Amino acid sequence: MQPQARVFAVDGLELCAQQWGEEGQKPVLALHGWLDNSASFSELAPLLDQLQFVALDLAGHGQSGHRPGAGPYNLWDDVADVISVADALGWQNFSLVGHSRGAIVAALVAGAFPARIQSMALIEGVFPPPADAQAAPQQLADSILKSRELANKPLRIHSSLAAAVRARAQGLFPLSDKAAEALTQRGVKAVEGGYVWSTDQRLLAPSSFYLTHEQVHAFIDRITARTRVILASAGLGQRYPDIRAALTQFPHLDVQELDGGHHLHIEAQAVQVAELINDFI
C-alpha cells in the first residue's frame, strides 16, 4: 500500500504528511517521535484496518517547514498544529497514534481538547518529564541561549546516503538498517558534497519551560479518550525505570508491553503493535 502525499498550510507553515487508507474511514492522526518523521509509520500503517491514517511530519521534521525565528520547539506549539490539521481535514472527532515525543504531544492534545479525541494509542511515550517550578528561570535561559547557538551552527554533511543511514542507525535508540533507511530517505536533502538532515537543528535545544508535576497530572487526568499505552521491554523503561510506577497513578490508561526496542513499531514487532491498535482503535 503506497501512501498519498498531503500538505497542510498551518499559520504560515507548510506541514507535509503521508496518508494511508481512504476518505470516510475512521480518522486517525499519527505523530512521530523526536528527530524522526512520518516514515516512522511506514511499516505499521499498512497493517491497520479501515483507517484514514494521516501521519504528519511535525514542524521542523522530515519534509515540513521550520518554525520561523530562533526560538525552540515547544510541545504546545505542536498541540496547536495538530488541531489546525484536524480542522483542515474537517475532523471534529478523531483518534491519535503517537510515538515517543509524538505520544506526549498526543496526550497533551487529548488533555486540552478531550471532547475531540475518541481514542489513542501511545507508543513508548505518555507524558513530558515534569520539573520543579523553581527550575523555570534557568530553563528559560538555557533554552534561549542554546536555540541561538543552534540557529547559526553549520550543518554536518554526510558524504553519501548510506553514510547518513549508518549515522541514523546508531542514534540514541539504535535502529535496524531497514528502519534507519526509511527515516533517512524522508529526513535528508541533497547538497553539494552529499546530504544533510532536513530536520531543524533547533529541535536539539531544550524547551522554554517544562510542566510541573501538578500540570502533568492535570493533563492526563483530563483525558476522556480510550487510551492504550504500548511499552517496549527494551525501550523507555530501561532509560527511565520509574515510568511503569508513574503509569499506575492513571488507572484509565490501558498499559501493554511487548518485547522490542524503542522503535518497535517500525521494526519486526510492527505486526504485534498493529494487533494492539486494531483491536483498540
Q: Label residue 68 exposed, middle or buried (CB < 10 Å: 0-12, 13-18, 19+).
A: exposed
Closest to 100 in 3D by CA, of 218, 235, 274, 196: 235
Write the pLDDT tens digit of every residue in 29-62: 999 999 999 999 999 999 999 999 999 999 999 9
CA distance 244 to 180: 28
Q: Which of 38, 42, 100, 198 is flagged as catalytic?
A: 100
Question: What is the per-residue pLDDT for 114?
Answer: 98
Query: Which cell numbers in the block locate residue 10?
Result: 498551518
In 3D space, the residue among 130, 122, 133 whose CA is nearest the CA of residue 97 turns out to be: 122
Q: Is 100 in the active site?
A: yes
Dihedral pair phi/psi, residue 248, rounded to 5°: -65, -15
Q: Which of 107, 110, 109 is nearest to 124 (CA)?
A: 107
**Domain range annotation of the chain:** 4-132+208-278
Beta-sheet strands, E only, within the chain: 4-10, 13-20, 26-31, 51-56, 94-99, 117-123, 188-191, 194-197, 226-234, 253-261
Per DSSP bridges, beta strands 226-234 and 117-123 are parallel
Average pLDDT of the chain to the nearest whole number? 96
For range 148-176, the mean pLDDT? 94
**Residue 129: per-residue pLDDT:** 85
pTM attached to this predicted model? 0.97
Through-space distance between the first and last CA atoms of the chain, rounded to whole angstroms:
20
pLDDT per position as a tens digit, 67-113: 998 899 999 999 999 999 999 999 999 999 999 999 999 999 999 99
- Specify the CATH number for 4-132+208-278; select among 2.60.40.1120, 3.30.200.20, 3.40.50.1820, 1.10.260.40: 3.40.50.1820
Is 80 exceeded by the pLDDT of residue 1? no
**What are 212-233's pLDDT values in tens digits?**
999 999 999 999 999 999 999 9
| Sign, CA torsion 196/197/200/204 | negative
Per-position b or e across 184-201, b if 16+ CB within 10 A of its CB: bebbbeeeeeebbbbbbb
104 contact partners, CB below 8 Å, separation of at least 6: 75, 98, 125, 126, 127, 128
Predicted confidence band at 242 (pLDDT cuts at 50, 70, 90)? confident
d(CA 29, CA 106): 9
